[in-house]
Amino acid sequence: MSDRTRDRRAGDEATEVTFRGGGLALRSGGRLILLVCPLCSQRNASRGAERGICEWCAYVPSQDQAEPVERGSG
């Protein structure tokens, strides 16, 4: 009879994702917030990030390519 903490949280919990090892984004509520562009490696502006579009090269990453960042290694 022990309470288990659920891994999945509904709300503003965001998952860090990369795109084939490049770039960095947050996946939150089915949206992608593009922080670092996997194509041009520029840090994205906040207005572009929220739209999931690179403000520098207009690259739009596909959610199909988004892979969760693995933690725990070194």
| Cβ distance to Zn ion smaller for residue 45 or 57 | 57
What sign for the dihedral angle of Cα 51, 52, 54, 59? negative
Among 18, 24, 48, 59, binds Zn ion (CB under 5 A): 59
Among 15, 20, 22, 40, binds Zn ion (CB under 5 A): 40
Burial category of 54 from C-beta neighbours within 10 Å (exposed 0-12, middle 13-18, buried 19 and up): buried
| Cβ distance to Zn ion smaller for residue 32 or 54 | 54
**What's the CA gap between 33 and 69, in Å, rounded?**
14
Binding site for Zn ion (CB under 5 A): 37, 39-40, 54, 56-57, 59
